[in-house]
Structure formats: C-alpha cells, structure tokens
Amino acid sequence: MNNFAYQKAADTSDALHKVAQGTASSFIAGGTNLIDLWKYNLVHPENLIDINGLRDYKSINKTEDGGLLLGALVTNSATAYNEHIVEKYPLLSKAILAGASAQIRNSATNGGNLLQKTRCYYFYDAASPCNKREPGTGCPAKEGLNRMHAIVGYSEDCIAVFPSDMCVALAALEAVVNVNGPEGERKIPFEDFHRLPGNTPHIDNNLAKNELITSISLPKEGFAENYSYLKLRDRNSYAFALVSVATGIKLKDGKIEKIRIVLGGIAHKPWRVTEAEDFLIDKEANVDNFMAAAEIILKGAKGFGDNDFKIDLAKRAIVRNGMMALNPESQRPGAQPSL
C-alpha cells in the first residue's frame, strides 16, 4: 500500500472541500470494496476522506410522496431489516440479503454498494492486462476464463459484469440516486447511473469527479404483494450471481397491470428490457408468457465459451422468478416455485 493522508469530514461541504484537495482523493465509508482494491494494488488513494461522520445520510425516512429516502451511509444490513423496507419494499430486502456475507453487509453502505467494482478475475490480477484497469491493454477474459462474464451489453473492450444484488432490485423499483458535488446537487435515475462498457470500460458509472452519493429515493410503488428475487450461483452463500432476477408484479383481474423484470450477473449494469415488460401488460402471468418475455430480454445474447450456459439459465430464471412472484410464500427459505 502507498502512503496516504487520512481526514474525517465534519459535514457535506467539508467532505466536498477536502476531496478536492489533491488528485488521488477518495471518500471512504464502509470500505468493504475499496480496501480490497487497495490491498490488491489496484487503487492508490493518497487523500482518504472518511465520511462516516455525516449523520444526515445515516437514516431511512418516509417522503411526502409516499416513498422512502435511504441514506447513503445506512449499512446494507440496517436497510434490509428496516421495518419500512421489509413491509413496503421486500424485494429490496430480499436482494440485499442475497449478497455478500452478514459481516460485509454489516459494514457496507448503500452508497458504496452502487460503486463496487466488477469481480472479473483479470481485473483483480494486477499482473494481467485489462482495459478496465489500464485502458488500451486488452481484455484477456474474451479468450480466457469467462464463466462469470456478460452475455448482453458487452463491448469489444470489456465483457465484465456488475456484481451487486441490491442494485438489481433498485433498478426494478426505479430508484433515483441523489448526489452532491462541486456543481451542486442533482438526481440520477437509476437506469442512467451505471454504464455499459463501450470503449470506456474504466468508467463504471455517471458520477462526476468528486461527487458524493447522499441518498437513494424509492418511489411509492414497492411491489410488496407480488415480488421475488432469485439468485443463481455456484454455492449458496457468499458467491456472486451467475444470473439473478428481480421481479415485481401488480395484478388486476388476473392480468398483469404493471411489471418490472431486471437481471443481474449478465451485463455491465442491471439489465432491464422495457419491451419485454410492455409485452406482458394485460396478459396472464403464466409460464408461456414469461418465456416469451424471456426471449425478448435475451434477444441477441451471446456467450464467450465458458458462459454460454447463462443464456438458457437466464431465460429459465426469468420464468421461474415470475411464477415465484405470484406466491409471496415462495420467498421463504427453501420454498419451491409453483410451476
């Protein structure tokens, strides 16, 4: 590790002032990903700004429009077990608890969850070339070990996936990311927060330099009646998703009135295809219709060898999760889908 300066921020303006000093500055909150990256010699912050003292971002509050405001510094655990989240946004609670380990969730913050880096093996190996770590050096994953990698939304330069579970649910809920920075406050719709790799895979999201995530807004609709989060992985705990699906449904007279389907583990950002959701409106929620929607969502999907299996797995996961969403009881540990 390199030598670095460590400073505690007293409030938002102090944090924004301190982070602007020097070129290699970084905020730190839970630190669960930053410290990993640092120990692997992948980042070298020289000016570390501890924002854990910013009390304004440590609570979860109801908003006047019937939604909820999640402080960026609330831990993932506190969010998952918050009474309002459990009652109104159980999809989010379920997704958070599918991620990482209890110890990590107790330390990781909501803001940090959005900013975590890909877990591509080559990205974490400082001896390997990697366009995301060092632009222009190449992407060994395309011809190498790519079991965990993308099947949609990738580019010639990078086929990595975004690893978060929480963000898959936030995308389904159409959350909004609230940020503050040198140019003032702004709101970023969740679908615009993370980026596809294109020819700039080193840029993961649309947060500007020295901007700070302050909170996440959830709209009124939480899909609390019919929801499901399904995570398929190599082992049942402490593993990243091969494929995950967040589904929220509103039913009316036995037909689908509103639906959100978002996939994780298959792209550089949570993957949502609104064309598939539109297709399902006013249709019955059944296996055939979910399979037709899955074909739309995976249209054009292509594997790189090791990860070819993900295409069929993703389609089946969409169908299974859609059916599980019809029966909230299916969210109990060990419950089986009613296919």
Contacts 24+ apart (CB under 8 A), 10-14: 10/53, 11/54, 11/56, 12/54, 12/56, 12/180, 12/212, 12/214
Q: Does 160 bind ligand SF4 (CB under 6 A)?
A: yes
- Each residue of 31-70: b (16+ CB within 10 Å) or e? bbbbeebbeeebbebebbbbbbebeebeebeeeeeebbbb
Binding test (CB under 6 A) with ligand SF4, winner from 18, 94, 105, 132: 132
- In the complex with ligand SF4, which residue's Cβ is closer, 136 or 184? 136
- Residue 194: which of 218, 219, 160, 227 has the closest Cα? 160
Residues near ligand SF4 (CB under 6 A), total:
14
Q: Does 162 bind ligand SF4 (CB under 6 A)?
A: no
- In the complex with ligand SF4, which residue's Cβ is closer, 154 or 290? 154
Contact residues for 118 (Cβ-Cβ < 8 A; gap 6+): 132, 160, 161, 162, 163, 204, 268
- In the complex with ligand SF4, which residue's Cβ is closer, 142 or 233? 142
Q: Does 120 bind ligand SF4 (CB under 6 A)?
A: yes
Binding test (CB under 6 A) with ligand SF4, winner from 74, 139, 212, 267: 139
Q: List the structure tokens of 197.
A: 């790799």
Q: Does 123 bind ligand SF4 (CB under 6 A)?
A: yes
Query: Helices 287-297 and 309-325: crossing angle, nearest 10°?
Result: 140
Q: Does 130 bind ligand SF4 (CB under 6 A)?
A: yes
Binding test (CB under 6 A) with ligand SF4, winner from 38, 89, 122, 162: 122
CA dist 156 and 170 (Å) reads 28
Least distance to ligand SF4, CB of residue 193, Å: 19
Q: Does 152 bind ligand SF4 (CB under 6 A)?
A: no
Question: Hey, which residues between 197 and 256 contact ligand SF4 (CB under 6 A)?
Answer: 201
- Point out which residues bind ligand SF4 (CB under 6 A): 118, 120, 122-123, 130-132, 139-141, 158-160, 201
